[in-house]
Amino acid sequence: MSAQKLAEVIDLDSRRATLILQVAHVRAEAEVHRQIGINSSLSFRDLKDVLVVSFDLPAEGAPWHFFTLSADAAGAAQPGAARPRAGSTGKRIDPTHLLRDFLRQPGQQLGFSWGLWTFTLSVADCYPRDAGTPQALCVGGSGSFGAGFDIADINAQLTGAETADTVLSHARAEVRDLVDRSQLSDFISLLQAVDLARPVTLPPHTRAALASLPRETTAQGRDAFWSAALALTCMGDTATTDAVLGSTMQALGWSADASLARARCASSLRVLEGLGAAVPPVDRLDIYRALLQR
């Protein structure tokens, strides 16, 4: 189903919609871009706070507002087009309005003024959300205003220390320890999306098999297993899973070779993969959720 058709069938007036926004600041000497997933029920004042973090803007001191774009400015906001010319903006938007009041389907655009800088915002996609979806998350980007683009640091700030503590409070001790030692804050967002607080009903034999893991006794083998478990929970393809596994092991001080990591915890992975081999993806997520829960 196309993004346009999806927007027609999703009720974006509900509180269960996520917008994917493409946000860009373009000038002659530089371009800075961010892709941000955000709850459509948040206000424009909330969105301002998200943009401040995502672009590393000064928290105070600059006047700001959101505004509608005229037809000329909206066309110029397309990739490869000329920059919107001065005076081509429309009406200012009350910052207490909700995003869904103005942004409801792919292709819709608005502007954001921060001091003398102007940003364009475009809806790239929209889809239903559930209770575990983060309120706001940076999912990609390029360029920066000086300090470099660090998506992990951005998402750590967006998630917030209090939220991170709450999310980790539902994870088992081994998972909390791995996140703490690796300093990979993206796992906070993953665990939040998985919603470890949700009760899981599994057959007794599945519960017993999960309780036996990991079977490894060495530090490297146990790190490899929990790294693999988190990578598998991402529900990505093999290349994505291996990339997450390798980067996690490297952050823990081991080799980044994903094949080597799998070998170090092969016995446990056979059990885990066997439990999920005959079930659909949604039920497989319940297996990972139960494994990671306290």
CB 19 within 8 A of CB 42: no
Question: Are 89 and 197 members of one domain?
Answer: no
Distance CA 92, CA 207 (A): 55
> What predicted TM-score, i.e. pTM, was given to this entire model?
0.57
Q: State whether 141 and 234 are in the same domain.
A: no
Residue 274's Cβ-count burial label (10 Å; 0-12, 13-18, 19+) is: exposed
Q: Are 70 and 179 within one domain?
A: no
CATH number at residue 87: 3.10.290.30
- 85: DSSP letter: P
Q: Are 239 and 182 contained in the same domain?
A: yes
Q: Do 224 and 267 reside in the same domain of the chain? A: yes
Residue 262 neighbours by CB distance under 10 Å: 18
Is the same domain home to 129 and 189? Answer: no
Last residue of a domain, one of 96, 130, 159: 159
Q: Per the structure block, which two tokens stand in for 191?
A: 């665990």
Nearest to 273, CA basis, from 204, 239, 202, 225: 225
The tens place of each residue's pLDDT in the chain, 294 residues long, gives: 334 433 443 444 445 789 999 999 987 777 899 999 999 999 999 999 999 999 998 866 689 999 998 755 444 444 443 344 434 467 999 999 999 999 999 999 999 999 989 999 999 999 888 766 778 989 889 998 877 888 888 888 887 776 788 889 999 999 999 999 998 878 888 888 888 988 999 999 999 999 999 999 999 999 999 999 999 998 888 998 999 999 999 999 999 999 999 999 999 999 999 998 777 777 888 999 999 999
Q: Are both 97 and 28 inside the same structural domain?
A: yes
- Token couple for 180: 């703490």
Check: CB of residue 109 under 8 Å from CB of residue 77: yes
Tell me how many domains the chain contains.
2
For residue 124, the number of C-alpha atoms closer than 13 Å in the C-beta half-sphere is: 16
Q: Examine the domain organization and report whether 29 and 108 are in the same domain.
A: yes
Residue after which a domain boundary falls, among 141, 159, 177: 159
Determine the structural domain holding residue 149 and report its residue range: 3-159
Domain check: are 184 and 133 in the same one? Answer: no
Residue 158 CB neighbour total at 10 angstroms: 22
Residue 131 sits at φ, ψ, to 5 deg, of -65, -25
User: How far from the centroid of its chain's Cα atoms is residue 86's Cα?
Assistant: 34
Encoding tokens for residue 71? Answer: 């037809």
Length of the chain: 294
Q: Looking at the structure, do residues 32 and 79 belong to the same domain, yes or no?
A: yes
**Cβ atoms 95, 43 nearer than 8 A:** yes
Whether residue 154 sits in one domain with residue 20: yes
Lateral strand order in the sheet of 136-142: 89-93, 64-69, 109-114, 117-128, 17-27, 30-39, 136-142
Domain termination residue (choose one: 142, 159, 176) = 159
Phi and psi, residue 21, nearest 5°: -105, 135
Closest residue by Cα to residue 23 from 100, 120, 95: 120
Of 234, 18, 13, 16, residue with least CA distance to 124: 18
Indicate whether 188 and 94 sit together in one domain: no
